[in-house]
Amino acid sequence: MMSMHLYPVTKTLPDAGAYSVRVNGIPAELDTARVSAMPFNRRWPGHQRSMDQSELASMLSFAADEPVTVEVTPLLPFDTAVIRPASMGIIPEICNGKIVFTVEKPGYFTLEPFGRHNALHIFADPMPRYDTDPKDENVIYYGPGEHDAGLITLHSGQTLFIDEGAVVYACVEAIDAENIRILGRGILDNRKNVEEILFEANEENNSAAVNNAYRRHTVQLEYCTGITIDGITIRDSLVYNIRPVGCKDLHIKNVKILGCWRYNSDGIDMHNCENVRIEDCFLRTFDDSICIKGFDCYYEGDVEAAVKAAMYRNGKAYDVFRNVLVRNCVIWNDWGKCLEIGAETRAEEICDVVFENCDIIHLTGPALDCMNVDYADAHDITWRDIRIELDDVIPQPMLQNTDKDTFRQQDPDFVPPMICAQVVYHPEYSAGGNRRGRNQDLLFENIAVFGRQKMIFSFCGYSDEASTSDIVIRGFTVNGAPLSRDGYTIEADEYCRNIQVILHD
């Protein structure tokens, strides 16, 4: 039997006041998230971004296994309507002040009558099929309504179930656990998570800004095996939304990440994991969206000793990151990088990684990136069948260094690199380490860009040994046509070798 189900909404934020919506003729209540309004970043805890750098955005959530008709009435003047990603093939019709379209299958997308601002985020889930009993002693269950849970710790064999209509204010952690799950169609809300300031920092003494506070990630998983995260929405993270460290057999699907406006609110950042699958997710982040990392350098005292202790723990080695598949995801990046290796790369190898069939619908920084600031041998990494939609004017990222700084568009023709691979020393991220890695055997295949800007491909190495080499770019198109010889600029230094851009003109 075919069906459609609107999720109940527990309102915890003011309505964005931009839309009235019906789904199959049924009035639909919209939820709200706070998002970044501009790529303006102030990095020092205790001086969080101000509210005037953010805005409220609407979201519509439902599940269906049949085509549904959505009728949207914008409450502000408009004269156009764009649905992203374009690859969904949804063509809206405008009639008598309404926008009407049909959603044929599950998917996550945005309706944009006003450009980047006041977008309606639409999450059309597949119908849920969870084999979970809320009364099971191994299930931590939250039903409709608000729940101030604080810190939720999962142990082996446990399931956290956040049901539709539930808003759970919490961080979630698991350490040395096996067979754990985070499920449901409710919201894991992190807005009550604030930094603990360790010492004051301001615009005069903020060179080590991220170290002047203790900040907890929304979902922190350490040395766990057999993890499933399915269906939930994560909203308003303080730092990373999902951060697995030394984990194995991780599956993330149908997760929606939204409401990232505080700095450093990355999407899914992973460190030295194995056997990872991320699919059918939506991420709108204010910093990097999906990152494959080695261990990072944010440790007290001797960084090298701390990394070694984390990398070789309890008789097991966590010194490689391998076997990753990221597919069928939609990325809206308000600051940072979209599909990335790095920047921190404290691993012996990062390899066998595939990003495929993903849509990047907005960006402000590099789209496809391998930034190797430590010592990993990063190799056999593929970006394939990626579609990138560029704004006519891409907001240009700025750092806010003083309270008096204001955001301004510096260059109306600004465009970040679509492809970037570097081996570099970074004064903060490398943490003084003197080992450098290398990038090799990177494939960028069937990348489709839509926009007016000229393409930039950027590469660099560090030395003859710490080089960037054996890069292949093929099947690259711009606005549906093969990339032309005068349609791109390539930047490469003397430590780059065998970079091929294969054209078909």
The strand pairing partners of 331, in sequence order, are 283, 360
Judged against a pLDDT cut of 60, whether residue 71 lies above it is answered with yes
Identity (one letter) of the amino acid at 403? D
Judged against a pLDDT cut of 90, whether residue 171 lies above it is answered with yes
Please choose, from the candidates 282, 230, 240, the residue with its C-alpha nearest in 3D space to the C-alpha of residue 263.
240
Express each pLDDT in 314-324 by its tens digit: 999 999 999 99
Percent of the chain with pLDDT over 70: 97
3-class SS at 305? helix
Which are the contacts of 171, defined by CB distance < 8 A and separation ≥ 6? 150, 151, 152, 190, 193, 216, 217, 218, 219, 220
Judged against a pLDDT cut of 90, whether residue 2 lies above it is answered with no
Residue 341's pLDDT is what? 98
Whether 242 contacts 190, CB under 8 Å: no
Whether 27 contacts 326, CB under 8 Å: no
Whether 330 contacts 300, CB under 8 Å: no
Judged against a pLDDT cut of 70, whether residue 505 lies above it is answered with no
pTM: 0.97
If pLDDT is split at 50, 70 and 90, which confidence band does 214 have?
A: confident
Domains of the chain (ranges; CATH) run: 4-125 (2.60.350.10), 288-396+423-505 (no CATH)
What is the average pLDDT score of the chain?
94
Which are the contacts of 431, defined by CB distance < 8 A and separation ≥ 6? 297, 303
Residue 170's pLDDT is what? 98
Residue 429's pLDDT is what? 86
How far apart CA 332 and CA 346 sit, in angstroms, is 27
- Output helix, strand, coil percentages for the chain, rounded to the nearest 5: 5, 50, 45
Please choose, from the candidates 63, 232, 33, the residue with its C-alpha nearest in 3D space to the C-alpha of residue 142.
232
Give the helix/strand (H/E) hosting 139. Answer: strand 139-142
3-class SS at 389? strand
Express each pLDDT in 92-113 by its tens digit: 999 999 999 999 999 999 999 9
How far apart CA 20 and CA 383 sit, in angstroms, is 38
The strand pairing partners of 312, in sequence order, are 317
Q: Which of 220-229, 301-310, 471-480 has the lowest mean pLDDT?
A: 301-310
Residue 1's pLDDT is what? 59
If pLDDT is split at 50, 70 and 90, which confidence band does 57 have?
A: very high
Residue 204's pLDDT is what? 64
Judged against a pLDDT cut of 80, whether residue 45 lies above it is answered with no
Task: Output the DSSP codes for 223-264.
Answer: S-EEEEEES-EEE--SS-SEEEES-EEEEEES-EEE---STT
Express each pLDDT in 256-293 by its tens digit: 999 999 989 999 999 999 999 999 999 999 999 999 99
Radius of gyration of the chain (CA): 22
Q: Is the dihedral of CA 497, 388, 358, 481 positive or negative?
A: negative
Residue 203's pLDDT is what? 63
Task: Output the DSSP codes for 73-123.
Answer: EESS--S--EEE-GGG----EEETTEEEEEE-S-EEEEEETTTTTTPEEEE
